[in-house]
Structure 1
Amino acid sequence: MQRIKTDILVIGAGSGGLSVAAGASQMGADVVLLEGHKMGGDCLNYGCVPSKALIAAAKAAHGTAQGGAFGVIAPAPQVDYAAVMQHVADVIARIAPVDSQQRFEGLGVRVIREYGSFLSPTEVQAGDHVITARRIVIATGSSPLVPPIPGLDTVPYLTNETLFDLRDRPKHLLIVGGGPIGIEMAQAHVRLGSKVTVIEGFKALGPADPEAAGVVMQALRDEGVDIAEDAMAAEIRGRAGAIEIEARDGRVFSGSHLLMAVGRVANTERLNLAAAGIATDGGGIKVDAGLRTSNRRVYAIGDIAGGLQFTHVAGYHAGIVIRSILFGLPSRAATAHIPWAIYTDPELAQVGLTEAQARQRHGARVEVVRFAFDENDRAVAERRTAGQIKLMVLRGRPIGATIVGHGAGELIGLWALVLANNLKMRKVAGMIAPYPTYGEINKRAVGAYFSPRLFDNPVLKQVVGLVQKWVP
Structure 2
Amino acid sequence: MSEPITCDVAIVGAGSAGLPAYRAVRDAGLKPLLIEGGPHGTMCARVGCMPSKLLIAAAEAAAAIGHAPAFGVRLEGTARVDGVAVMERVRRERDRFVGFVVDDVQAMPPEHRLDASVEFLRDGVLQTAQGQRIHASRIVLATGTRPIVPDIYAPLGDLAIVNDDVFDWHDLPRSILIVGSGVIGVELGLALARLGVRVRVLNRSGSFAHLQDPAVRASAVGLLAAELALVQNAQVTAVRRDGNQAVVSWQAEDGVAHTESFDKVLLTAGRSPALADLHLERTSMPLDARGMPRVDPATLQVHGHAVFLAGDVTGRHAIQHEASDDGRLAGHNAAAWPDVEALPRRAPIAVVFSNPQIMQVGGGYAQFDPEAMVLGAVDWTRQGRSRVMLRNQGLLHVYVRRADKRFVGAEMVGPDAEHVAHLLAWALQMGLTVTQMLRLPFYHPTIEEGIRTALREAARQLD
**TM over 0.5: same fold?**
yes
Cα contact 2:358–2:413 (8 A) shared by 1: yes
Cα contact 1:216–1:344 (8 A) shared by 2: no
The count of residues paired between Structure 1 and Structure 2 equals 449
**In structure 1, distance between residues paired with 2:445 and 2:86:** 33
> Residue 370 of structure 1 corresponds to which residue in structure 2?
377
> Residue 288 of structure 1 corresponds to which residue in structure 2?
296
Shift in Å, 1:257 = 1.7
2:327 is the alignment partner of 1:318: yes
2:174 is the alignment partner of 1:171: yes
Q: Which of 415, 426, 432 pairs up with 2:435?
A: 426
Structure 2 counterpart SS, 1:384: coil
2:449 is the alignment partner of 1:440: yes
Ranked by relative contact order (alpha carbons within 8 Å, sequence separation 6 or more), the top structure is: 2
**In structure 2, distance between residues paired with 1:228 and 1:218:** 12
Deviations 1:404-444 (A, max 9, x none): 11221221122222333333222222221333332333233
**In structure 2, distance between residues paired with 1:415 and 1:68:** 34
Structure 2 counterpart SS, 1:287: coil
2:210 is the alignment partner of 1:212: no
One-letter amino acid of the counterpart of residue 6, structure 2: K
Cα contact 2:17–2:328 (8 A) shared by 1: no
Shift in Å, 1:334 = 8.2
Gaps of 5+ in 1: 455-472
**In structure 1, distance between residues paired with 2:332 and 2:23:** 13
How has the CA–CA distance of structure 1 residues 151 and 159 changed in structure 2, closer, same or farther, with 3 Å as cutoff?
closer
Shift in Å, 1:345 = 0.6
Aligned residues: CA RMSD: 2.4
Deviations 1:318-360 (A, max 9, x none): 23223323345643378893111111111111122333x234x
**In structure 1, distance between residues paired with 2:61 and 2:459:** 40
Cα contact 1:55–1:188 (8 A) shared by 2: yes
Gaps of 5+ in 2: none
> Residue 140 of structure 2 corresponds to which residue in structure 1?
137
How has the CA–CA distance of structure 1 residues 152 and 333 changed in structure 2, closer, same or farther, with 3 Å as cutoff?
farther
> Residue 83 of structure 1 corresponds to which residue in structure 2?
85
Moved more, 208-217 or 167-176: 208-217
Cα contact 2:22–2:331 (8 A) shared by 1: no
> Residue 199 of structure 1 corresponds to which residue in structure 2?
202
How has the CA–CA distance of structure 1 residues 236 and 365 changed in structure 2, closer, same or farther, with 3 Å as cutoff?
same
Cα contact 1:25–1:107 (8 A) shared by 2: no
**In structure 2, distance between residues paired with 1:18 and 1:323:** 12
How has the CA–CA distance of structure 1 residues 66 and 240 changed in structure 2, closer, same or farther, with 3 Å as cutoff?
farther
Q: Which of 265, 278, 281 pairs up with 1:258?
A: 265
> Residue 156 of structure 1 corresponds to which residue in structure 2?
159
**In structure 2, distance between residues paired with 1:155 and 1:326:** 44
> Residue 463 of structure 1 corresponds to which residue in structure 2?
none
> Residue 121 of structure 2 corresponds to which residue in structure 1?
119
Shift in Å, 1:451 = 4.2
**In structure 2, distance between residues paired with 1:281 and 1:98:** 39
Cα contact 1:8–1:136 (8 A) shared by 2: yes
Q: Determine which structure has more spread, i.e. the larger CA radius of gyration.
A: 1
Cα contact 1:24–1:31 (8 A) shared by 2: yes
> Residue 337 of structure 1 corresponds to which residue in structure 2?
347
2:353 is the alignment partner of 1:346: no
Cα contact 1:265–1:283 (8 A) shared by 2: no
How has the CA–CA distance of structure 1 residues 365 and 116 changed in structure 2, closer, same or farther, with 3 Å as cutoff?
same
Cα contact 1:44–1:92 (8 A) shared by 2: yes
Matches within 5 A, 1:178-257: 178-205=181-208, 207-208=210-211, 209-222=213-226, 224-248=227-251, 249=255, 250-257=257-264
Deviations 1:344-384 (A, max 9, x none): 111111122333x234xx34221000123234332122111
**In structure 2, distance between residues paired with 1:427 and 1:415:** 12
